[in-house]
Every structure is written in structure tokens, then in C-alpha cells.
Amino acid sequence: MYENVILERRGRVAVLTINRPDKLNALNIATRNEIVAVFDELRSDAEVRVVVITGSGEKAFIAGADISEFAGRTAHQQREVMRSSRVFSVIEDFPKPVIARINGFCLGGGCELALGCDIRIASSNAKLGQPEINLGIIPGGGGTQRLTRLVGEGKAMELILTGKIITAQDALEIGLVNEVVAPEELDARVMELANQIAEKSPIALQAAKESVKTAARANLREGLEREVDLFALCFASEDKEEGVRAFLEKRKPEFTGR
Ligand code: COA
């Protein structure tokens, strides 16, 4: 059904693999459209509680936008492309948690895609950066905004102005990734984390993600009010009753998503 991506379901976790290893999984228009279509499909799939995004092959997560599509493209055409497949915002606004499994080069639009995810786990051999400046352009998929919010203005400026590519360990030190693991442990660690999150109430997960995202979108007062609203909304769910009862009865909760 998809040509550039592979969608697998592993229990409650969906794994989306960008599958253009010959081009280091660079994001061409067709791939971006397929990513958006996959997220549309997964949105209404109640079985899926967490999504993992990764790259095919040993070498790359995603080496950026497909540079071959930039040649000869006009400003107007580029604007239309960026408006039509807003893959980064689709991931950020997705109601379920999304984990980036960074298995190699994570550059430009690939880094921006990872920034749109909720948690980033990198292989120790991954390399990250925003090298757009070397092409005479700037990050256009949220890099100047999301990277700055995540690592602070100084580090974001350094990465974006120099275009330098950093190691996974350096990315961990500045808070760009949550964890670094050995390549052979990456799959197990990401699935362990995804399954751990997938056990929670999907209603609470959605509220938690929306509330945390509000921190970057609203001022403190508005954010705190939104948090109270979302907290109270959880009280409308059966999952809240189940979670509280399970604690009181000293047993593991079984969340149904109702
Ligand atoms: N867009 C299109 N094609 C890309 C690509 C991209 N962003 N990144 C890699 N590729 C292609 C290469 O053109 C090459 O294709 P070919 O075999 O048909 O020539 C293939 O993927 C393998 O890449 P190659 O450059 O040979 O691998 P390498 O190990 O020598 O270098 C990188 C790896 C990541 C350092 C290098 O590919 C690179 O700099 N890529 C561009 C990164 C970038 O600037 N991203 C931001 C874009 S806005």
C-alpha cells in the first residue's frame, strides 16, 4: 500500500519505518505524503497506543529533505510543498505519543521530524544536526523553533549557524535526545519504552501530551489553566476510575481507553 514507508504493528505499538535506504531515507514529497497518510490511518486505530518512527538500513534515520527536489524549485513552489504536507506538525499534534528511534544520520528535516516527536532515543553511532546553512538555506520544518525550545537559544544558534553534525553523546548532553544506547540494544530499548507507555490510559496520555505541548504554545497562566482543564477531563474517563481503584486494591490497572 505504501511505497516509501513500512508500517508494522507490534501489539499496541505501531512502527513506521522510512524506507529509502539508498537515499539515506531522505524525505521526498511522496514520502512526506505517505507519513501523513500513515498518521491519518493510525489516529483512528484504537489498538495502537504508541508510534515509533525509524529509518531503514544501518546508516540513517533520515538524512533530511530530499535535496534533489530543491534544484530549480521556485520560492512559490517550495511554499506550496511545505504547506501541503505538514509532516512535522502532524506528528507533533498526533494524539498519541510518538517516539523517534534514531538509528543513524538524523539531519535537517530528519532532525526536525525527530523534534516533532515526543521522545528521542538514539543509537550511539547516530549523528545529528541541522546542516541546511551549508546549502544556502535554513531549517524550514520547525528547526529554528522546536530546537531552540528544546536545547536553548545558544546551542540552537550554534548548530544552525555552523551546520555542524554532532554525535549522539553530544546530543544527549544538550538535551536533544533523551537517551543513547548501543546500536544492538536500540530496538529492545525503544520497544521496552514504547510498551511501558502503551500500558497507560490512552486518554491520560493524550491529555498529558497536549498539556506538555501547551507549555511552548501559551503563556504560563494559560498553560496552567489548560492543565487544570485536561486534568479534570481525565475524571470523565473509566480509566481514571480503574487507575485509582487498582491502586487502592493493590493490583495492576487494565486501561481500556474509555
Ligand atoms: N537528499 C537526497 N539524497 C540524499 C540525501 C538528501 N538529504 N542525503 C543522502 N542522499 C543520498 C546521496 O545523494 C547518495 O545517493 P547516490 O548514491 O544516488 O549518490 C546516497 O544518499 C548515500 O549518501 P552519501 O552522501 O553517498 O553517503 P555518505 O556516507 O558519503 O554521506 C551524509 C552521508 C549524510 C554526510 C551525506 O549524505 C549528506 O551530507 N547528506 C545531506 C545531509 C543534509 O544536508 N541534509 C539536510 C537537507 S536540507
d(Cα 180, Cα 123) in Å, to the nearest integer?
6
Measured in angstroms, how far is the CA atom of residue 197 from the centroid of ligand 1? Answer: 34
Q: How far is CA 169 from the centre of its chain?
A: 19
Angle subtended by helix axes 220-234 and 202-217, to nearest 10: 170
Residue whose CA is at the smallest distance from ligand 1 atom 29: 59
How far apart (Å, rounded) are the C-alpha atoms in residues 55 and 14? Answer: 14
For the chain, give the number of residues: 258
pLDDT per residue, tens digit, the chain (258 aa), is 899 999 999 999 999 999 999 999 999 999 999 999 999 999 999 999 999 999 999 999 999 999 999 999 999 999 988 888 789 999 999 999 999 999 999 999 999 999 999 999 999 999 999 999 999 999 999 999 999 999 999 999 999 999 999 999 999 999 999 999 999 999 999 999 999 999 999 999 999 999 999 999 999 999 999 999 999 999 999 999 999 999 999 999 999 999
Catalytic residue ranges: 112, 132
Which triple of cell numbers denotes residue 254?
A: 487494565
Under 8 Å between Cβ of 120 and 114: yes
Assign 178 to helix, strand or coil. Answer: coil
What's the confidence (pLDDT) of residue 83? 84
Specify the DSSP class assigned to residue 73. -
Q: Please give all residues whose beta carbon lies within 6 A of any atom in ligand 1, as ranges.
A: 23-24, 26, 63-68, 105, 107-109, 131-132, 135
Cβ-based neighbours of 129, under 8 Å, separated by 6 or more: 106, 107, 108, 111, 159, 163, 164, 165, 166
State the alpha helices, DSSP H only, in the chain. Answer: 29-43, 75-84, 87-92, 109-116, 148-151, 153-162, 168-173, 186-198, 202-217, 220-234, 238-248
Instruction: Give the closest residue (by CA) to ligand 1 atom 34.
Output: 63
Q: What is the pLDDT of residue 47?
A: 96
Is there a contact between 226 and 218 (Cβ–Cβ < 8 Å)?
yes
CA-proximal residue: ligand 1, atom 12 (nearest): 23
Of 23, 132, 147, best ligand 1 pocket probe by most atoms within 8 Å of the beta carbon: 23
| Cα 132 to ligand 1 centre (Å) | 13
Global confidence as pTM: 0.96
Nearest partner of 127 among 62, 65, 179, judged by Cα: 62
| CB-based burial, 174-199: b 16+ in 10 Å, e otherwise | bebbeebbeeeebbebbbebbeebbe
